[in-house]
Structure 1
Amino acid sequence: MSSRGPYRRHSAQFKPQLCHDIRSGALGRRDAQRKYTLSANLIQMWLTQFDRGELSTEEVEADVVVDYEAKIAALERKVGQLAMELELVKKTPRLRLVSDSENSSIITGPKPAPSDGGVK
């Protein structure tokens, strides 16, 4: 059984940029393998997709837009939830447990009421 590294996801911007650098000659395949610790098969797969036009910048931008839209939707849901909670808190009357003249503590509690005599 071989030891595999952690599963990594590469950004949609990284893949076409790397393929462009390899195709333009700015970076060799082996240099890319060493620099980014990628397998030769993965680089070959990306280059094939790049050559077919599957890793175009328009698709990358579309993926980014989809990601942003999902984040925006999640944030809008959270804002709605917090707004509802805030309205609920505003509508709930606050109970006054201790008057200003009384001092209370969790340990000691409120002051005892004065008695008018002994025990009967």
Structure 2
Amino acid sequence: MSSRGPYRRHTAQFKLQLCSDIRSGALGRRDAQKKYALSANLIQMWLTQFDRGELSTEEVEADAIAEYEAKIAALERKVGQLTMELELVKKTPRLRLVSDNERSSIITGPKPAPSGGGAK
């Protein structure tokens, strides 16, 4: 048996399409249960909503708009974060660890500065 989260959320578009298929006879209730791993009670609840007119194309459109607005907000937050990081990187002075005439190695790093004399 596959492990899934405690709750699954189905879009209004999926519910509307499933109910339309069941009511038109293109798909049986048991076939829908097996195909989509849904309970009979959940399908019955959706069919009741569909029959009452609570599942409509307006709801599907409103659901899609809400989903798009959430994605836009997330992308705007990400753009703001990246803009702030870029500004910080631009303002941070870069340290020069090695002079132009010195050579450095990834393993050993820059050569140590010569000392002014022995240890006293």
The TM-score bracket by the shorter chain reads 0.7 to 0.9
- CA RMSD in angstroms, aligned pairs only: 2.6
Q: Which residue of the partner structure matches residue 86 of structure 1? A: 86
Q: Which residue of the partner structure matches residue 27 of structure 1? A: 27
2:111 is the alignment partner of 1:110 = yes
**Residue 43 of structure 1: how far off its partner (Å):** 0.6
Give TM-score, length-normalised by structure 1: 0.81
Instruction: Please identify runs of 4+ aligned residues in structure 1 that moved more than 4 A.
Output: 117-120
Give TM-score, length-normalised by structure 2: 0.81
Q: How does 1:1-120 map to 2 (within 5 A)?
A: 6=4, 7-105=7-105, 107=108, 109-113=110-114
Question: Contact conserved, 2:19 with 2:47, CA < 8 A, in 1?
Answer: yes
Unaligned runs of 5+ in 2: none
Partner Cα distance (2:13, 2:118) in 1: 85
Task: Give the letter for the 1:46 counterpart.
Answer: W
Question: Contact conserved, 1:29 with 1:40, CA < 8 A, in 2?
Answer: yes
**Cα distance change on mapping 1:85 and 1:11 into 2, 3 Å:** same
Unaligned runs of 5+ in 1: none
